[in-house]
């Protein structure tokens, strides 16, 4: 059965600052949902809540009917909820392959399946031939691809990508779009994509959820969001 990841009325407060208020989203396996909003809108905080790095002050996180609101990141990863980070930190002296294997082996220590999953992920992101290279010698874009391969090697049901194209040039960004678009078919997972680059978002996301000031501004199919006057005024600015 296909699974659905949801938040229901999630609120996060940090010492008086409300980072998220009453945010409800859903992500189905097999779809790509774009999460948009200006700086400070609460996008990363929502991903932190979904991946267990931040406990919400209110609301729930569920996969189907299973409540995972207070689950730790490793528990969520085992249940197939995996995220990447805005700034990837690789083990500089390890090889590319070892970097991808580390999280996999944390789940199934040293297994053949784990090795195979890491290999598949490296092939998928186009880095199989760089597997034996020392991670510290990789250019920036490839470093970011290793971060995505790491997450994919866990064979997630739900993958959250936090600004994966940040710092890439247009050609690299376009290649990444093509790669992200293939993730649901290849891995059968749902993808939550945080991305500021509007052409990237519009190219790969069927549905969008827009945050502003920690609240939901709009949510719906891409074409509807593109025409939404509130979104145009407050965020898209004519893009």
Summarize as ranges the residues that interact with ligand ATP (CB under 6 A): 14, 17, 19, 37, 39-45
> Please, which residue, 35 or 183, has the CB nearer to ligand ATP?
35
State the Cα angle at 208 between 38 and 196, rounded to 5°.
35
Question: Least Å distance between CB 21 and ligand ATP?
Answer: 11
> Please, which residue, 14 or 91, has the CB nearer to ligand ATP?
14
Question: Least Å distance between CB 37 and ligand ATP?
Answer: 5
> Please, which residue, 14 or 140, has the CB nearer to ligand ATP?
14
DSSP SS3 for 223: helix
H helices of the chain, in order, are 43-50, 73-78, 96-107, 112-124, 140-152, 170-187, 198-204, 222-227, 229-231
Q: Are strands 81-83 and 158-162 parallel, antiparallel or unpaired?
A: parallel
Question: Least Å distance between CB 214 and ligand ATP?
Answer: 6
Question: Least Å distance between CB 151 and ligand ATP?
Answer: 18
Which residues, 6 or more positions from 139, have their beta carbon under 8 angstroms from its beta carbon? none
């Amino acid at each position: 059965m296909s699974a659905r990841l949801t938040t229901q009325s999630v609120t996060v407060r940090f010492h008086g600052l409300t980072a998220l208020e009453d945010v409800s989203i859903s992500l189905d396996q097999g779809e790509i949902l774009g999460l948009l909003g200006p700086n400070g809108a609460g996008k990363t905080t929502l991903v932190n809540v979904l991946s267990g790095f931040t406990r919400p002050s209110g609301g729930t996180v569920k996969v189907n009917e299973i409540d995972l609101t207070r689950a730790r990141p490793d528990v969520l990863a085992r249940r197939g909820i995996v995220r990447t980070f805005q700034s990837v930190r690789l083990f500089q002296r390890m090889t590319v392959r070892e970097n991808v294997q580390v999280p996999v082996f944390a789940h199934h220590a040293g297994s053949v399946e784990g090795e195979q999953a890491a290999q598949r992920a490296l092939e998928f992101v186009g880095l199989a031939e760089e597997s034996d290279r020392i991670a510290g010698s990789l250019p920036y874009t490839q470093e970011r691809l290793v971060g995505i391969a790491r997450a994919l090697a866990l064979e997630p049901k739900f993958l959250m990508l936090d600004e994966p194209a940040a710092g890439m040039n247009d050609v690299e960004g376009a290649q990444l779009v093509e790669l992200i678009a293939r993730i649901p078919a290849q891995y059968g997972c749902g993808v939550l994509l945080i991305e500021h680059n509007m052409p990237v978002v519009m190219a790969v996301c069927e549905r969008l959820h827009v945050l502003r000031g920690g609240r939901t501004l709009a949510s719906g199919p891409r074409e509807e969001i593109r025409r939404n006057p509130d979104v145009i005024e407050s965020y898209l600015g004519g893009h």
